[in-house]
Amino acid sequence: MKSKFIYFLNIIKLFIIVIALLCLKSSSSKTQIFSANENINKSVDLSTMAIYINKEEEEKANEEAMQKYIWGVLDSYTGDLTGYGAFCPLCTGHLACMSDLDLSNGRTTYVDKTYGEVRIVASSKNLPCGTIIKFDSKKISDDPVIAIVLDRGVLGNDIDLLSPSEQYAADYVGRSKITYDVLRMGWTK
C-alpha cells in the first residue's frame, strides 16, 4: 500500500511539474523586438536568442523531471541475494514471466525500453513481473546493479540473480543479505 501511494505521489509530482512548465510557457508571450539600423537599413529580431534559451531551459527541466521519475525509489526491501543458473536442478531453462526469452546461450540480461540492459532476477510474487530493482553487491559489481524481475522461485523478499551457470552462482554470487530499492513496480504500459 505504501509503495503504491509513493508511486502515485511521484506521478502527481511529475504531472505538477509538467503543468507548471506548460503554464509558464503559455503565460510568457512572445514579443518581437526589432531594431532598425539606419546605416544598412535592415532590421534584427532580438527575441530570437531569448526564445532559443527558453527552449533549452525547458528541455533541460523536462529531462531532469524524467530522470527523477525514472530513478526515484518507490520502496525498499531487505532480503537474501542468491544466484542461480537457467538449468539448475529445479529449473526449466525458461523464465516464469517471459518464457519465450532464450537462455540457452548463458544470457543473464534483458534490454528494457526505459532502463536499458539490466540483469535478470527471480523474486516471489511480492514483486510483479517487470519490476525494476537496484541494489549494491561488491561481489557482483562495483557499480549498483539494476535488475528486472522476470522469474519466480524464491520466498518473501529474497532475490535470486540469474547467472551464466550454477558454478558461477556459487563462486561469485553466493548468499548475502542486501537491501534493494524498487524503481518501477511491474511493467510500464
Got the DSSP string for 44-61?
EETHHHHHHHHHHHHHHH
Contacts with 18 (C-beta within 8 Å, 6 or more apart), sequence order = 62, 65
SS3 12: helix
pTM above 0.75? no
Predicted confidence (pLDDT) per residue in 84-100, tens digit: 988 776 677 789 898 88
- Is residue 81 a contact partner of residue 178, using CB atoms and an 8 Å limit? yes
**pLDDT band, residue 149 (cuts 50/70/90):** very high
Least confident of 79-83, 102-106, 124-128: 102-106
pLDDT at 42: 58
What pLDDT band is residue 41 in, cutting at 50, 70 and 90?
Answer: low
**Which comes out higher in pLDDT, residue 38 or 174?**
174
Tell me the H-state helices in the chain: 2-27, 47-71, 166-168
Percent of the chain beyond pLDDT 90?
43
Paired strand residues for 165: none
**Of 76, 125, 84, whose CA–CA distance to 103 is shortest?**
84
Mean pLDDT lowest for which of 6-20, 110-124, 174-188?
Answer: 6-20
Question: What CATH topology corresponds to 75-184?
Answer: Barwin-like endoglucanases (2.40.40)
The mean-pLDDT minimum among 52-56, 68-72, 80-84 falls in 52-56
Looking at residue 160, its pLDDT comes to: 95
Domain positions in the chain are 2-71, 75-184
